[in-house]
Amino acid sequence: MRKFILYTIFLTSAIQTLSCAKNDSPASDDDHQQKVQAAVDSVRLALSEKMSIDYPYINVIIQTPTEKIFVSSAAAGNQPLTADTYYRFASTTKNFTSAAILNMYEDGWLDYKAKITDTIPGSDTPYVPATPDWDFRYKNDITIEQLLQHSAGVFDVDNDTVPGYNGETYTDYVMALDSMHQFTTDEMVNVLAQNKNLVYFTPGNGYHYSNTGYSILAKIIARVYSFKAGADKTYDDYMQDYIVGGNSPVPIDEIHFPVLATDNAMPDPHVAGAYLLPGGIQQFDNYNMSAQVGEGNGYGTMNALNTYIRSLMRGENVLQPSTVQLMQTDKTPYDSAYALGCNYRINLGYGHNGARIGYLSLMAYDPANDISIVSMVTMWDLRNGTTSFLLPFNAIYDAAYAARNALGYPGKP
């Protein structure tokens, strides 16, 4: 089944100043806990009415300067989730990929302004392979920055249909034949090399969300790290060693980025995603994420995502405050909200969202009020195309806004 492309509607923003207040584990007030629970319950009940089902879960974690609150609104008969329940956070992975690229930039390992055909500093090795598989149109003109901004024009073989593949995306077509196929970036980029007309625009002359563009970034991360380490390294190796693992500035052991088709299970407790289809419900649990490396393969917990986005955007994690501001504001003129793996939404702040196999989630940090928020739901509605899909998609935002409003902060604009 063709995936529904998650193109978030962004709103124009102004550059805001990062707050320096720090309160990592504040206790929540019981009255506030009840208010947030009631607010999220109301969003789930409204969604249930629109979808004519008892929607399974809407979950929110919100941290303010004085308290941290988690709520899980669950359908009758469902056990509420916890803030430490694992789930696949999908395209939210792109923010981690951007953090990795920018951390390498801070360390002098790469130049994010460089073309992807330039050589890794201190080497004769190009950022991407100089092989026939990688001979795709406009390759020589694309920069790392443009990939981060979705302004490179790289065609997305994971979201858009490809000629010759039965009217499907390349990844959907292959997964239907073999659900345990081990995808590689070389393989997916080769689809572009074989179909040189598959481009959105010339590099730097537009905006088009591209999972394949971020797959290329993951390849660059692996190649740069392999050169520096003097041994073969993967995207996940770098993420664990520098971004979320035990040696990172803010270790977050619950976050993982599987690269192997066989690494398809999440730890317990975890929650499955689901599609609501015209003929019933399709659930997803163990799943091959090897086609989504760097663009959507991450999984973790809501607590973990809250720790990550809060510490990163406050300049207390792997990136310096000046680089965090760069992540937030280095935008293409063709999109007013998406910068370097980071988007902005009024009254939520900076972060990213994600959609994959039934999960919909977002993480964001609002520097104006020092509020971090993570919202997650567990079912897509595919009974009526994009119209029905947008119901649970909008609910992740409605729930986040409702939680803020319940605590007296500006909510939905």
Question: pLDDT tens for residues 72-87?
Answer: 999 999 999 999 999 9
Taking the C-alpha atoms of residue 128 and residue 118, their distance in angstroms, rounded to an integer, is 8
Q: What is the DSSP string of 97-145?
A: HHHHHHHHHHTTS--TTSBTTSBPTTSS-BSS--SGGG--TTGGG-BHH
Residue range 245-268: average pLDDT? 97
Amino acid in position 257: F
Q: What pTM does this model have?
A: 0.93
**Closest CA relative to residue 257, chosen from 103, 91, 59:** 91
* Burial 206-226, CB ≥16 within 10 A → b, else e: bbbbbbbbbbbbbbbbbbbbb
pLDDT score at 3: 39
Question: pLDDT tens for residues 297-351?
Answer: 999 999 999 999 999 999 999 999 999 999 999 999 999 999 999 999 999 999 9
Q: Are 319 and 297 in contact (CB under 8 A)?
A: no
Report whether pLDDT(11) > 80: no
Give me the residues paired with residue 70 across strands: 61
Q: Where are the domains of the chain?
A: 30-406
- E strands, 154-311, are 273-277, 280-284, 298-301
CA atoms within 13 A on the CB side of 149: 27
Q: Quick one: CATH architecture of 30-406?
A: 3-Layer(aba) Sandwich (3.40)
Question: pLDDT tens for residues 355-410?
Answer: 999 999 999 999 999 999 999 999 999 999 999 999 999 999 999 999 999 999 99
Q: Report residue 29's pLDDT band, with 50, 70 and 90 as the boundaries.
A: confident
Inter-CA distances, 391 with 48, 52, 75, Å: 10, 12, 17
Report whether pLDDT(110) > 50: yes
Taking the C-alpha atoms of residue 37 and residue 402, their distance in angstroms, rounded to an integer, is 10
Q: Provide the H-helix boundaries in 150-210.
A: 170-177, 185-194
Taking the C-alpha atoms of residue 83 and residue 135, their distance in angstroms, rounded to an integer, is 45
Report whether pLDDT(20) > 80: no
Q: Report residue 14's pLDDT band, with 50, 70 and 90 as the boundaries.
A: very low
Tokens (6 digits) for 235: 């995207």
Question: pLDDT tens for residues 170-185?
Answer: 999 999 999 999 999 9
Q: How many residues does the chain have?
A: 413
pLDDT score at 23: 41
Residue 284 CB: number of other CB atoms within 10 A? 15
Question: In this predicted structure, which of 28-32, 231-235, 292-296 has the lowest mean pLDDT?
Answer: 28-32
Q: Are 7 and 162 in contact (CB under 8 A)?
A: no
Give percent of the chain above pLDDT 90: 93
Q: Are 269 and 296 in contact (CB under 8 A)?
A: no
Instruction: Give Cβ neighbours of residue 102 (< 8 Å, ≥ 6 apart).
Output: 112, 319, 323, 326, 327, 340
Q: Report residue 27's pLDDT band, with 50, 70 and 90 as the boundaries.
A: low
Report whether pLDDT(196) > 70: yes
Question: pLDDT tens for residues 43-72?
Answer: 999 999 999 999 999 999 999 999 999 999
pLDDT score at 350: 98
